[in-house]
Structure 1
Amino acid sequence: PDFTFHTFRYMEVAGLSYRPDPSDFVGWALNTAVEGDNVFTCSSALINQIQAMAVRTFRSNLQSIQSDCPARERFGYGGDLNAVAEAYVYNFDMHAFYRKTIYDWVDAMKDTSFVDTAPFVGIEYCGISWEAAFLITQHLLLRYYDDVALIEALYPLDLKWMEKVAKIHPNGIVESGLADHEALQPSPVQLTGTLHYLQCAHIMTIFAQLMNDRPNVRKFQKLAERLQTAVQQKFWNPPVDSSVNQQALHASLLYHQVIPRSKQRIAAEALRRAMAQGPEGHFTTGIFTTKYILEAASRHGLVDDVFNIVQSTAFPGWGHMIDRGATTLWETWKESDNVYSNCHPMFGSVSEWVYRWLAGIQPDETHFGFQKFILCPHAPQGLDSVACCYRSPYGVIRSNWKKTSVGVIYDFEVPRSTTARFQIPVAFAAIVRIEKQGEGEVASCRIKAGTFHHTFSPGVYKITVTRQRI
Structure 2
Amino acid sequence: MPSKYRLLSLLASLLLVAQSYAASVVNLTCEYKRDPLGIDETSPRLSWQIESQEHAVQQTAYRILVSTTPEGIKSRQADLWDSGKVESNQSLHLRYAGLPLSSRQTCYWSVQFWDQNNRKSEWSTIGSWEIGLPSQSDWDGANWIQMEGDNRSSPLTKRSLKTKFINEAKEVQSYPSPLFRKTFTVRPGIKRARAYLCGLGYSEMQINGIPCSDAVLDPANVTYDRRALYVTHDITAALHPGENVATVQLGSGFYGQNHAFNAPGLNYGRPGLIAKILVDYADGSTQTINSDSSWKASSGPILYDNVYGGESYDARLEMDGWQLPGFDDSSWSHATRCEALAPKLQAQMIDPIRRIKSLAPVSIIRGHDGKWIFDLGQNIAGWAKIRVQEPAGTQLTLRYSEILTDDRRELDMITTGVHATGLEQMDIYICKGDGIETWEPRFTYHGFRYIEIEGLSSPPDSDTLQGVFVRTAVARRGYFLSSDEVLNRIYDASMWTIEDNLHSILEDCPHREKCAWLGDTHAVGETAIFNYDMAQFWTKFADDIETNLGRGGVTYWGQKATPGIPTNVATGRRVCQEARPDWGSAYILLPWYQYLYYGDTDVFTRHYPHLKRWIQYVESLTENGIVIRGYGDWCPPGGNKHMECPVELSSTAFYYGTLRVMQRFAEYLGKQDDVEQFKELARRTKDAFNKTYFDESIGGYGSQTANAISLRFELFPERQRERVSNSLVHDVTANHLGHVAVGIHGGRPIYSLLSESGSSDAAIAALKKPTWPSYSYALSQGLTTWPEIFDEFPRGRSTSGRSLNHPMQSGFAAWFHESLGGIRPGAPGFKVVHLKPYGFDQLDWVKTSHDSPYGTIKSEWSKNGERFQWEVSIPANTTARISIPSKAADLITMGGNALLECSDVKLEGICDGYATFTLDSGSYSIDSELP
TM-score normalised to the size of structure 1? Answer: 0.92
Partner of 1:29: 469
Partner of 2:750: 293
Q: Quote the offset at 1:239 in angstroms.
A: 5.9
One of 309, 312, 321 as aligned partner of 2:766: 309
Q: Indicate how the Cα distance of structure 1 residues 189 and 449 shifts in structure 2: closer, same or farther if over 3 A, else same.
A: closer
Note if contact 2:517-2:570 (Cα within 8 Å) is conserved in structure 1.
Answer: yes
Q: Identity, % of aligned pairs?
A: 28
Q: Quote the offset at 1:257 in angstroms.
A: 1.1
CA distance in 2, matches of 1:168, 1:407: 54
One of 202, 224, 228 as aligned partner of 2:682: 224
Q: Indicate how the Cα distance of structure 1 residues 251 and 115 shifts in structure 2: closer, same or farther if over 3 A, else same.
A: same
CA distance in 1, matches of 2:671, 2:549: 25
Partner of 1:451: 914
Larger mean Cα displacement after TM superposition, 44-53 or 300-309: 300-309
Note if contact 1:430-1:467 (Cα within 8 Å) is conserved in structure 2.
Answer: no
Matched, 1:119 2:552: no
Q: Quote the offset at 1:156 in angstroms.
A: 2.0
One of 588, 608, 611 as aligned partner of 1:158: 611
One of 823, 840, 845 as aligned partner of 1:361: 823
Query: Which amino acid is the alignment partner of residue 474 of structure 2?
Result: V
The Cα offsets for residues 195-233 of structure 1, whole Å up to 9 and x where unpaired, read as 111111111100100001110000000011111111111
CA distance in 1, matches of 2:673, 2:805: 45
Note if contact 1:125-1:177 (Cα within 8 Å) is conserved in structure 2.
Answer: no
Note if contact 1:75-1:117 (Cα within 8 Å) is conserved in structure 2.
Answer: yes
Note if contact 1:313-1:322 (Cα within 8 Å) is conserved in structure 2.
Answer: no
Query: Which amino acid is the alignment partner of residue 214 of structure 1?
Result: Q
Partner of 1:352: 814
Q: Quote the offset at 1:325 in angstroms.
A: 1.3
CA distance in 1, matches of 2:449, 2:723: 46
Q: Quote the offset at 1:444 in angstroms.
A: 4.8
Query: Which amino acid is the alignment partner of residue 820 of structure 2?
Result: L
Matched, 1:403 2:860: no
Q: Indicate how the Cα distance of structure 1 residues 448 and 245 shifts in structure 2: closer, same or farther if over 3 A, else same.
A: closer
Matched, 1:204 2:662: yes
Partner of 2:894: 434
Partner of 2:212: none
RMSD: 2.4
1:315-330 mapped onto 2 (5 Å cutoff)? 315-330=772-787
Three-state SS of the structure 1 residue aligned to 2:515 is: coil
Partner of 2:620: 167
One of 266, 273, 277 as aligned partner of 2:723: 266
CA distance in 1, matches of 2:743, 2:716: 21
Q: Indicate how the Cα distance of structure 1 residues 169 and 429 shifts in structure 2: closer, same or farther if over 3 A, else same.
A: closer
Three-state SS of the structure 2 residue aligned to 1:288 is: helix
CA distance in 1, matches of 2:893, 2:601: 39
Q: Indicate how the Cα distance of structure 1 residues 103 and 31 shifts in structure 2: closer, same or farther if over 3 A, else same.
A: same
Q: Indicate how the Cα distance of structure 1 residues 174 and 297 shifts in structure 2: closer, same or farther if over 3 A, else same.
A: same
Note if contact 1:378-1:424 (Cα within 8 Å) is conserved in structure 2.
Answer: no
Instruction: Choose between structure 1 and 2: higher helix proportion.
Output: 1
Note if contact 1:279-1:315 (Cα within 8 Å) is conserved in structure 2.
Answer: no
Three-state SS of the structure 2 residue aligned to 1:90 is: helix
CA distance in 2, matches of 1:97, 1:285: 28
How many residue pairs were aligned?
A: 461
Q: Quote the offset at 1:380 in angstroms.
A: 3.1
Q: Indicate how the Cα distance of structure 1 residues 148 and 24 shifts in structure 2: closer, same or farther if over 3 A, else same.
A: same
Note if contact 1:31-1:59 (Cα within 8 Å) is conserved in structure 2.
Answer: yes
Three-state SS of the structure 1 residue aligned to 2:469 is: coil
One of 513, 523, 536 as aligned partner of 1:83: 523
Note if contact 1:279-1:316 (Cα within 8 Å) is conserved in structure 2.
Answer: no
One of 342, 359, 384 as aligned partner of 2:804: 342
Q: Indicate how the Cα distance of structure 1 residues 311 and 226 shifts in structure 2: closer, same or farther if over 3 A, else same.
A: same
Query: Which amino acid is the alignment partner of residue 160 of structure 1?
Result: R
Three-state SS of the structure 2 residue aligned to 1:181 is: coil
CA distance in 1, matches of 2:467, 2:770: 30
Query: Which amino acid is the alignment partner of residue 914 of structure 2?
Result: T
CA distance in 2, matches of 1:342, 1:72: 11
Three-state SS of the structure 2 residue aligned to 1:458 is: strand
Three-state SS of the structure 2 residue aligned to 1:36 is: coil
The Cα offsets for residues 171-191 of structure 1, whole Å up to 9 and x where unpaired, read as 542212210112244221111
Q: Indicate how the Cα distance of structure 1 residues 385 and 269 shifts in structure 2: closer, same or farther if over 3 A, else same.
A: same
Partner of 1:464: 927
Note if contact 1:359-1:378 (Cα within 8 Å) is conserved in structure 2.
Answer: yes
CA distance in 1, matches of 2:456, 2:540: 44
Q: Indicate how the Cα distance of structure 1 residues 212 and 315 shifts in structure 2: closer, same or farther if over 3 A, else same.
A: same
TM-score normalised to the size of structure 2? Answer: 0.48
One of 137, 140, 143 as aligned partner of 2:596: 143
Three-state SS of the structure 1 residue aligned to 2:446 is: coil
Matched, 1:385 2:838: no
1:415-434 mapped onto 2 (5 Å cutoff)? 415-426=875-886, 431-434=891-894
Note if contact 2:619-2:627 (Cα within 8 Å) is conserved in structure 1.
Answer: no
Larger mean Cα displacement after TM superposition, 327-336 or 412-421: 327-336
One of 176, 182, 190 as aligned partner of 2:648: 190
Q: Please list every run of 5 or more consecutive structure 2 residues that lacks an aligned counterpart in the other structure.
A: 1-304, 306-310, 312-442, 551-561, 902-906
Q: Indicate how the Cα distance of structure 1 residues 167 and 382 shifts in structure 2: closer, same or farther if over 3 A, else same.
A: closer
Three-state SS of the structure 2 residue aligned to 1:30 is: strand
Note if contact 1:67-1:77 (Cα within 8 Å) is conserved in structure 2.
Answer: yes
Q: Quote the offset at 1:307 in angstroms.
A: 1.8
Three-state SS of the structure 2 residue aligned to 1:459 is: strand
Note if contact 1:419-1:457 (Cα within 8 Å) is conserved in structure 2.
Answer: yes
Q: Indicate how the Cα distance of structure 1 residues 426 and 305 shifts in structure 2: closer, same or farther if over 3 A, else same.
A: farther
Q: Indicate how the Cα distance of structure 1 residues 419 and 254 shifts in structure 2: closer, same or farther if over 3 A, else same.
A: same
Partner of 2:394: none
Asked which structure has the greater CA Rg, the reply is 2
Q: Quote the offset at 1:126 in angstroms.
A: 6.0
The Cα offsets for residues 281-316 of structure 1, whole Å up to 9 and x where unpaired, read as 110111111123223222222222212222333221
CA distance in 2, matches of 1:78, 1:241: 32
Note if contact 2:522-2:589 (Cα within 8 Å) is conserved in structure 1.
Answer: yes
Q: Quote the offset at 1:153 in angstroms.
A: 1.6
Larger mean Cα displacement after TM superposition, 266-275 or 159-168: 159-168
Note if contact 1:255-1:295 (Cα within 8 Å) is conserved in structure 2.
Answer: no
Query: Which amino acid is the alignment partner of residue 721 of structure 2?
Result: Q
Three-state SS of the structure 2 residue aligned to 1:23 is: coil
Matched, 1:180 2:646: no
Partner of 1:98: 538
CA distance in 1, matches of 2:612, 2:623: 16
Note if contact 2:886-2:892 (Cα within 8 Å) is conserved in structure 1.
Answer: no
Note if contact 2:833-2:874 (Cα within 8 Å) is conserved in structure 1.
Answer: no
Query: Which amino acid is the alignment partner of residue 724 of structure 2?
Result: A
CA distance in 2, matches of 1:165, 1:114: 11
Partner of 1:47: 487
Q: Which has the higher contact order (CA 8 A, sep 6+)?
A: 1
Partner of 2:508: 68
Q: Quote the offset at 1:430 in angstroms.
A: 7.3
The Cα offsets for residues 427-467 of structure 1, whole Å up to 9 and x where unpaired, read as 689721012xxxx6363579898221111101110111136
Three-state SS of the structure 2 residue aligned to 1:71 is: coil
